[in-house]
Chains A and B, each alone.
Chain A
């Protein structure tokens, strides 16, 4: 599939052929850095001063590159499709190759960054457990109650992405066995012909 570039996007990228290939390479590096860590306007100012051009021009150039990289990574377009897509920009062969290399080298990393964006559900991180036996309590002084105490660590959710949320939970031995059977059934479901057929056919 080909990318359809908007007129604004084309215009923003039209700045690239006016500078050296080395500068385009540097812009590419900055674009990827921004995708990883977020943008910082100070870098635009520094680059604009060096190149003696308006800040907006640099900003549009870098952001145009970021958009080009994220869109092509999003659809995971092929090498040929990438070159055909940037053809409409009217860049020289050398510049097209620089962009292609940038895409080929970094598309998997960009995809992994992009894939973190939509997950707003907490995700499993780890489970810590210990076996406790309750021997006595305030209302009853002689007890033997085996209990599995667990700490479930989850990442993500509504809060910050890096935050781990911790839930302390307990269960008794018979429920533990029930949980294992239930979740083993879940694992078995992925090996069924039904699931495999779906996985094979959705490409």
Chain B
């Protein structure tokens, strides 16, 4: 993993036993993971009794470095040995490496999910609702007498939802379902490869 100079400096401070003893180290590592997982930035995340006696500038530098390191590890899907050797190079003690790794394992899945949700994508279909109607007549034509469907696809994009409404005849709905089934079949085939 490549880390910038300021991140390396922040991590080295975190490794330094005279700056961070065991309890303040644990508090900072916990706070780092917690601040990444909460959707809203909590200004009081470093407001803890264990961290009171540490120089505030150093504390913030170390916190930034730790969160950057965590995100980079998740992004690169770094395994335990990669992370360990990286931390050891920055003169972390074996205890500190072990604590970091175990905390990382605990939060890893959640952070992966969180990172995967970042980015653009087309609206996602979440659900569909339908109504079967019988078109009897209208202002222009009498005796139409044709069944048709009103479909509504519920889509979601960046947290806001939108319904896509359209009509289709019975044949068109059969066509649509047929195409979705073809797609499902090829998903199934692809998953068996």
Contacts and interface: CB of A to CB of B under 8 A. Distances in A.
Contacts of A123: 166-168, 172
A43 interface: no
A187 B173 contact: yes
A183 B166 contact: no
Contacts of A76: 142-143
Listed residue (B75, B123, B126, B166) with the most chain A CB atoms within 10 angstroms of its CB: B166
A14 interface: no
A158 interface: no
Given A111-B141, A149-B122, A183 B116 contact: no
> Secondary structure at chain A's binding surface: helix, strand, loop or mixed?
mixed
A118 to B, nearest CB: 4
Contacts, number: 168
> Secondary structure at chain B's binding surface: helix, strand, loop or mixed?
mixed
Contact of B184 (A114, A117, A142, A173): A173
A140 B74 contact: yes
A18 interface: no
Contact of A186 (B71, B116, B173, B186): B173
Contacts of B136: 202
B21 to A, nearest CB: 33
Contacts of A198: 134
Contacts of A139: 71, 75, 115-116, 118-119
Nearest to A151: B122
Given A117-B139, A170-B122, 10 more contacts: A124-B168, A137-B118, A141-B77, A175-B127, A179-B128, A180-B180, A182-B128, A186-B149, A190-B170, A199-B134
Interface of B: 71, 74-77, 112, 115-116, 118-119, 121-130, 132, 134, 136, 138-145, 147, 149-151, 153, 155, 164-168, 170, 172-177, 179-184, 186-187, 190-191
